[in-house]
Structure 1
Amino acid sequence: MGTPYPNPISPSQTRIGWIGIGVMGAAMASRLLSAGYSLTIYARTPSKAHPLQSQGAQLADSPFQLAQLSDVVFTMVGHPPDVRSNILDPETGLLWGLRPNSVSVDMTSSHPALAREIFNAARAKDCWTVDAPVSGGDIGAREGKLAILAGGDASVVEWLAPVFDVLGKVTYVGPAGSGQNCKIANQIVGGGEFGGVERRVGVCRAGRVGCAAVYGGSEGRGGRVNGDGIVWGKDYREGLQAWWVC
């Protein structure tokens, strides 16, 4: 059993590993289980894996062991140091457990240079990696409507399409590291957008203009942007990572 690249991906045969079961990661992993894929997960806090185990997921003791049991391994962790630890750690890293032609897909918002380093390390042992950060938040993760920006070998990204389609819409953007480059660019645009909206709120309040009037008056015009509803509505839930735009 098992279908490493380039054998066709099939829910009944392709073994998927998943590392990172926070709010978004857990929702994405749950969708893959619902789609019929066999899933092995690794969690630093095993108790957090219980909901996915109730759906049929198996639990591995380390990223290395998880990779030994998988054709494709996804990581959706917090920050670049977490990516490095889970993939490249010399003792427990998943890369050293992958069989030839297996694939590691990092969906964390991380560094382009790290993505290229991981890609080169994987190719040295006849494996493949794809950097595929996402946009869409926890709602997009639950509904399978994430925007996926994929960097790496084009044929490998195409091969992964059946899995990506469960999670959202994938766009191939170039060689290793390109996915992370595009995500950073999107974060910068998002940061500028929210900064502009915040400034507009201040100007309107200083002039005693009703926020609802300005928000409604921007309907269908270039002056209205995605951040408007969030700022006007005082929706202060966590969104883009500020450290990418500082």
Structure 2
Amino acid sequence: MRRTGRRRPPGCERYFSCGFLPSIGNEGRTNADHWRPNRYCSDVAGFAWSPCQSLKYSQHANHTHDTHFETNRRRSSMTTPTVAFLGIGLMGKPMAARLAQAGVALRAWNRSPAKAEALRAAGAVPQAHLADAVAGADIVISMLEAGPVVAAVLEAALPHLAPGTLWIDMSSTRQDEALACAARLAAHGCRFVDAPVSGGVVGAEQGTLAIMAGGSVEDVARAEPVLRVLGTPTRVGEAGSGQVAKLCNQLIVGATLNVVAEALLLAQAAGADPAAVREAIRGGFAGSRILDLHGQRMLDRNFIPGGQVKTQLKDQGNILAAAQAAGLTLPVTALVTRQYESIVDALPAADHAAALIALERMNPGKRLGTKPDALPPT
């Protein structure tokens, strides 16, 4: 990260909760196309684009620094981008709310308008019509159910996009679907980045998502200030590469969930305390984020989502399709896919930690713990 060369003044708690200062060219003009992260960031993101609320000084902050940052605020307010967020679902809602609360000029659209309307209190401007949401927007973010839905929404939005609009698709789709979106946008003079995420609802709420971005260096750089409000973006290659990275992520997630379920059920069936076994192995090579979070979910039998069974199964299918296209056989992924297929009809909206339930159904009379299952309403 490029340093500003400024020191934190004595007594200043934070300059910005998480800001972006405009790069200044040789002539002293703001370069609106290049933004760099402010060095003083916390876990609640904000923008220098509209940061009146994000300047936070103690009574000891000196006036010189206050004047300096006010100058940056005025400079940056002239280049505030308008962002349209499409898809206010399980993940989209906390992501859009976080952007709006950070000061992004955000329009929210959903096929069910009431979901977009719920974001008004967070500072978003709900739009009942897709055309109104995207018209004149600098950046469009889509967070939709699947590739075909993304393609349909994109097709409906195309006539209303201004030339040069950057479309960031954060949905989980196939690589070929991402490439098709990129081609359609390019034909209309627009840009595309595929940026699927990992981290679940908690990560979306806390702004800690892992974001796998595919696109040109320039397009990913343009997307980065917005993406950094939501988590940590990493460019993994050209357009379509983000979806490949997400599939690799989901391959590991799906397999690990099933292996953790097997380990805990084995511990109990063999006479050990499964909670103590989990605690004992967390610090070793078997330790993982999934053992920490979803291992506890399984012990608590808490299957309120989080990531849903139906979504994980969609990802499993996309992984196998990518493997086939690449000439690969993935035997573990095929087995994990069958496990989720066995419960998707009965438990489509359950957390994907319900891999435990699929395993228990294969082992009649064996069940982890005595707590009742916490499941989403059907």
Could you state the TM-score of these two structures normalised by the residue count of structure 2?
A: 0.59
Aligned to 2:231: 168
Looking at structure 2, the residues matched to 120 and 163 of structure 1 have their Cα atoms a distance apart, in angstroms, of 23
Deviating above 6 A after TM superposition, structure 1's stretches of 4 or more consecutive aligned residues are none
Aligned to 2:195: 132
- The yes-or-no answer on 1:30 pairing with 2:56 is no
Residue 81 of structure 2, aligned match among 1, 4, 14: 14
Question: Residues of 1 paired with 2:290 and 2:304: CA distance?
Answer: 12
Deviation at 1:8, TM superposition (A): 4.5
Residues 124-173 of structure 1 deviation map (CA, whole Å, 9 limit, x = unaligned):
12110111011111111111111110011121111111111111100000
Is the Cα–Cα contact under 8 Å of residues 66 and 94 in structure 1 kept in the other structure?
Answer: no
Match in the other structure for 2:212? 149
User: Partner letter of residue 27 of structure 1?
Assistant: P
Structure 1, unaligned stretches of length 5 or more?
Answer: none
Q: CA deviation at 1:6?
A: 7.0
Q: Return the alpha-carbon distance in structure 1 between the equivalents of residues 314 and 186 of structure 2.
A: 30
CA deviation after TM superposition for structure 1 residue 44, in Å: 1.5
Residue 368 of structure 2 aligns with which residue?
none
The amino acid across from 1:163 in the alignment is: V
Which deviates the most, 127-136 or 217-226?
217-226
User: Computing the radius of gyration over CA atoms, which structure comes out larger, 1 or 2?
Assistant: 2
1:98-113 to 2 correspondence within 5 Å? 98-113=161-176
3-state SS, counterpart of residue 236 of structure 1: coil
Which amino acid letter does the alignment assign opposite residue 69 of structure 1? Answer: G
C-alpha distance in 2 between matches for 1:190 and 1:72: 30
CA drift at 1:103: 0.6
- Separation in 2 of the partners of 1:112 and 1:137? 21
Map of 1:183 onto structure 2: 246
Q: 1:151·1:179 contact (CA, 8 Å) conserved in 2? A: yes
Aligned-residue sequence identity (percent) comes to 33
Find 1:67's aligned residue among 111, 130, 134.
134
Output the CA distance in 2 between the equivalents of 1:122 and 1:139.
Answer: 32
CA deviations over 1:190-222 (Å, ceiling 9, x no partner): 111111112212322221111122112203101
What is the alpha-carbon root mean square deviation over aligned residues? 1.9
- Does structure 2 retain, via aligned residues, the 8 Å contact 1:17–1:74? yes
Task: Indicate the residue corresponding to 2:274 in structure 1.
Answer: 211
Q: Which moved more, 1:236-245 or 1:23-32?
A: 236-245
Residues 227 and 59 of structure 1, relative CA distance in 2, 3 Å threshold: closer
5+ residue gaps, structure 2, are: 1-30, 36-48, 51-76, 317-336, 338-378
1:117 maps onto 2:117 in alignment = no
Amino acid at match of 1:243: K
Question: CA contact under 8 A between 1:65 and 1:94: conserved in structure 2?
Answer: no
| Residue deviations 1:69-89 (CA, integer Å, cap 9, x gap) | 31101011112222111112x
TM-score (normalised: structure 1): 0.89
Aligned pair 1:244/2:315, yes or no?
yes
The secondary structure found in structure 2 opposite 1:70 is coil
What does residue 47 of structure 1 align with?
114
Q: 1:194 & 1:56 partners in 2: Cα distance?
A: 37
1:234 counterpart residue number: 301
Q: Which SS does the other structure have where 2:33 is aligned? A: coil
Query: Post-superposition shift, 1:62?
Result: 3.0
Q: Aligned AA for 1:63?
A: L
Opposite residue 199 of structure 1, the aligned amino acid is E
Q: How many equivalent pairs are there? A: 238
User: In structure 1, what is the Cα distance between the partners aligned to 2:282 and 2:261?
Assistant: 17
Which deviates more, 68-77 or 8-17? 8-17
Give the match's secondary structure for 2:271.
coil
C-alpha distance in 2 between matches for 1:223 and 1:31? 33
CA–CA separation in structure 1 for the residues paired with 2:32 and 2:238: 18
Q: 2:283 aligns with which of 188, 204, 220?
A: 220
Which residue identity is paired with 1:210?
D
| Separation (CA, whole Å) in 2 of partners of 1:107 and 1:182 | 12
